[in-house]
Amino acid sequence: MNWNKLLNSQRLGDARKDYDSFTHRSAFQRDFDRIIFSSAFRRMQDKTQVFPVPESDFVHNRLTHSLEVAMVGRSLGNLAGEFILNQEPELKKQHSMNMFGDIVAAAALAHDLGNPPFGHSGEDAIGDFFLKNSFIKDQFDLNDSQWKDFTNYEGNAHGFRLLCNHHPAEINSGMRLTFATLATFAKYPRPSVVDKQQLIDPNKKRTSAKKFSFFNSEAEAFTDVAKSTDLKQLSKGEKVWARHPLAFLVEAADNICYRIIDLEDGYKLGYLSLLEMEELLTPLLMRSFDAEIALQKYKAMNDAGEKVGYLRAKAINVLVYEVKTVFQENYKEIMNGDFDTELTDLIKSVDILEGPIKKSNIFLYNRKPVVEIELAGYQVISGLLEQFMQIHLEPKHMISKKLLTILPSQFRASDSDSNYCKIMRIVDFIARMTDGYALNLYRRLSGQSLPS
């Protein structure tokens, strides 16, 4: 893989060559802006990150989490860009260090865009609904690959769908982001079904094989992205690719943020004490380049909230520079498409991040309010799918006709839609909802409340 292709600023669905010829704003900064002004991004303010938002204090939601991941991603991208330009100085004629940071920031900003209401619980609810109603596969004549899109529903693939096809009038274009940003967004550049025998190296363990980044409906669009950035092909059928090198930095930024910032939220809600936060994060502070000065500054602070915020900031800074080191050490293998491990699994502080910090994260994820939201969310999404799938399962039924009148026009099937597309439109409608809208609609349709 080479950077002249990997930094492709051409836009999906737009053939113009001089579209981004502005000196004050790069093509990749425009990607960032397009994402942040999108309705899909705004909806994340009402999507739970981990903890339900309390009345007494502020914790993160998907939107604030995504902003923070984007900022950490920008730092990682800039550090990587500086290294890459020193390794390949000929790139300096056309590219700057900040371009790398802008691409990672834009992709990181969008990394959770496709999460359905209630996060992973919502994903599970969608997948389980179709598994429990397996007759739908035969009734709608879906092939194995199409069926897997639903039974193994994936927020990452829904995110790519939103980015490149967010409205029926803009098929295969959507937000018209650059190929570089779309490729960097895809942590799992493969479809839901992969024939292992078609893989060039079928026995190689790959982090990018844990999930998938595009549905059947966006397979052609992703092929355009992969070919335009010249991603390394990992299968003979051209359906599986190696990650864009910058995708590793998006993943690392997300890992750093949720591991550290979830602890801060846990402290604000009273699940972790200041002493516990010190035990978890001071070891990272002591690995910073200015550890002694930082420790003196920390001890001089009187406010507990300020102390926790300082520990969080120092911890993230240490982890960012450790990730940069791992990226540099594995640069050649990354560029060859042979590296496929989470960067945070190889950092010096993995003993802390994946040891006591991970253990504390798991403790927080099992607190009663978190579990209750997951259980409630599962029921809400399952119930909404049960209701709205009637539109296609029993189209002549009176209830189906009434449900159709409240279904927004962009999610109604057209005569040219395949059966797969019809189902995907219903899933799209529910997956794009906020937590609050999904809950309120479910209550109204199930008779638990009435419209005001």
Q: Are 133 and 190 in contact (CB under 8 A)?
A: no
Q: What is the mean pLDDT of residues 46-60?
A: 69
The confidence score (pLDDT) of residue 169 equals 52
**pTM score, whole prediction:** 0.94
Q: Is residue 410 part of a domain?
A: yes
Tokens 């500054």 appear where? 297
If you average pLDDT over residues 248-258, what whole number do you get? 97
- What helix, strand, coil percent values describe the chain, rounded to 5? 65, 0, 35
Q: Residue 412 is part of which domain span?
A: 368-445
Say whether pLDDT at 17 is over 70.
Answer: no
Report the mean per-residue pLDDT for the chain: 91
What digits encode the pLDDT tens for the residues 202-235?
888 999 999 999 999 999 999 999 999 999 999 9
Position 284 scores a pLDDT of 96
What tens digit of pLDDT does each residue of 359-411 get?
999 998 888 888 988 999 999 999 999 999 999 999 999 999 999 999 999 89
Range in 14-18, 244-248, 284-288 the model is least confident about: 14-18
What mean pLDDT comes out for the span 34-44? 93
- pLDDT at residue number 170: 46
Q: In the predicted model, what is the mean pLDDT of residues 424-434?
A: 96
Predicted local confidence at residue 55, as pLDDT: 53
Contacts of residue 300, Cβ cutoff 8 Å, sequence gap at least 6: none
Q: Is the pLDDT of residue 29 over 80?
A: yes
The fraction of the chain above a pLDDT of 90, given in percent, is 78
> What confidence score (pLDDT) does residue 46 get?
87
Decide which of 54 and 308 is more confident: 308
> How far apart are the C-alpha atoms of 257 and 312, rounded to whole Å?
10
Query: What are phi and psi for residue 143, nearest 5 degrees?
Result: -80, 175
Angstrom distance (rounded) from CA 218 to CA 224 = 10
Cα separation of 171 and 191, whole Å? 19
Residue bearing the bigger pLDDT, 176 or 244: 244
User: Is residue 68 domain-resident?
Assistant: no
pLDDT of residue 18: 63
The pLDDT tens digits of the residues spanning 147-183 come to 999 999 999 999 999 998 755 554 556 788 999 999 9
Please give the pLDDT value at position 12.
86
The pLDDT confidence band at residue 54, using thresholds 50, 70 and 90, is: low
Higher pLDDT, 175 or 419: 419
Residue 383 lies inside a defined structural domain of this protein: yes
Cα–Cα distance between 52 and 59 in angstroms, integer?
8
The answer to whether residue 79 is domain-embedded is: no
Please report whether residue 389 resides in a domain. Answer: yes
Please check whether residue 393 lies inside any domain of the structure.
yes
What per-residue confidence (pLDDT) applies to 25? Answer: 75
pLDDT in tens, 125-145: 999 999 999 999 999 999 999
φ and ψ at residue 115, rounded to 5 degrees = -65, 125
Label residue 163 exposed, middle or buried (CB < 10 Å: 0-12, 13-18, 19+).
buried
How many domains does the chain contain in total? 1
- What ranges in 88-210 are assigned the alpha helix state H? 97-109, 119-132, 135-139, 144-151, 155-164, 179-185
Of the candidates 329, 363, 430, which has an alpha carbon nearest to the alpha carbon of residue 126? 430
Residue 433 lies in a domain: yes
- Answer yes or no: is 255 within a domain: no
pLDDT at 35: 96
